[in-house]
Amino acid sequence: METRHLKYFIAVAEERHFGRAAVRLHMAQPPLSQQIRQLEEQLGTQLLVRTTRKVDLTPAGQLLLDRGRQLLQELEVLESDVKQVGAGATGVLRVGFTGTATYRLMPAVVQAARRTLPGLRITVQGEMLTPQMEAALEEGRLDVAVLRPPVRSGDIALKLLEQDQLVAALPADSLLAGQGPLELADLSSHDFIGYPASSAVSGIVIDACRQAGFQPRLVQEAKETSTLLSLVAAGMGIALVPMTSRMFSFQGVVFRALRNPPPVDLAVAWNRTSESPLLESFLALFDSLPAFPVPDVPGVE
């Protein structure tokens, strides 16, 4: 399969129409149709269901669309990285960050890298969930990740950066907003807004609530902490978030400490099989970063 075939197919699959795809690709429709037929012949399977009005995907076509998009994105990144190294960069590292670390820790890491490793080019991906970064580290799509443990793979090495704790994020007009430290059980009757079930923080929240004697009633999920707090401000429910989320100063959101709060770790992770001196130099940067002040949350000593 050639890259051009994949680009042609993705255009048709996204447009669901050969004519619109041809316009998008700046080519005539008959050659485009011929290229797609050649691709189906090469793969030995039907990718598209053609009608007079539109084009639908077969299950094989949907798979090719999903994986093909990822592949083209990785090829574009690879092309850019190769050009950067060819232009004189000492190397390229792809770094993923989770949640609030994207805004709080990432700028300090990038600045330290510019001072210490001036020839290094860093490609940053922010607001990622731990399972996404773990898979990317295993598959070689990320070199380093700042994530919240645990991870499942034994191929992933971890170095603890800091230990956070969960706090309650409440709508400003909540009856609990004016109180001091809360028991988790105090929240049992409230609707919860949470991170996706696959996230590390979600697992910690659910386990903590179960130990407090209740199952949180989840009414909405949000991948980004900023979105989650926006929903709290809108009165959709309450949330348990890492205390460092206090950096988001949302009008309409009040943070309250929890008694015996569950810990939430933050760690830097990498694939144990990587033997890059550049990676080792980059990981050493985390030892030189200044300590970050703990956000002030009422009731936290």
Q: Letter for the amino acid at 114?
A: R
What tokens does 142 get? 């990320």
Cβ-contact 206, 155 below 8 angstroms = no
Burial of 21 (0-12, 13-18, 19+ CB in 10 A): buried
pLDDT of residue 253: 93
Side-chain-facing half-sphere of 115: CA atoms under 13 Å: 9
- Co-location of 71 and 96 in the same domain: no
Are both 30 and 162 inside the same structural domain? no
Same domain, 193 and 281: yes
**Residue 134 contacts residue 152 (beta carbons within 8 Å):** yes
Considering the chain, what is the average pLDDT of its residues?
Answer: 87
DSSP percent split of the chain into helix, strand, coil, nearest 5: 45, 25, 35
Closest of 161, 99, 118 to residue 292, by C-alpha: 161
Domain that holds residue 259: 90-292
- With tokens 């447009």, the residue in question is 15
Number of neighbours of residue 102 by Cβ within 10 angstroms: 20
Give per-10-residue mean pLDDT for the chain (301 aa).
88 90 91 91 91 85 89 79 60 87 85 84 87 92 93 92 91 86 94 93 94 95 91 95 82 91 92 85 85 50 36
Residue with token string 């990676």: 279
Please say which residue of 18, 51, 79 terminates a domain.
Answer: 79
Indicate if 102 and 234 belong to the same structural domain: yes
pLDDT tens string 288-301: 876 654 445 544 43
CATH number of domain containing 164: 3.40.190.290
84 belongs to a structural domain? no
Q: Dihedrals φ, ψ of 138, to 5°?
A: -65, -40
Overall number of domains in the chain: 2
Q: How far is CA 62 from CA 14, 46, 195, in A?
A: 10, 11, 27
Tokens of 277: 């001196």
The pairing of beta strand 217-221 with beta strand 55-57: unpaired
Within this chain, do residues 29 and 172 fall inside the same structural domain, yes or no? no
Between strands 156-171 and 253-256, the pairing is antiparallel
- Shared domain check, 269 and 211: yes
Distance (Å) of CA 277 to CA 133, 156, 173 = 21, 17, 53
What tens digit of pLDDT does each residue of 218-245 get?
A: 999 998 888 999 999 999 999 999 988 8
pLDDT of residue 218: 95
Judge whether 298 lies within some domain.
no
Q: What does the pLDDT read at residue 146?
A: 94
Write down the pLDDT at residue 88: 44
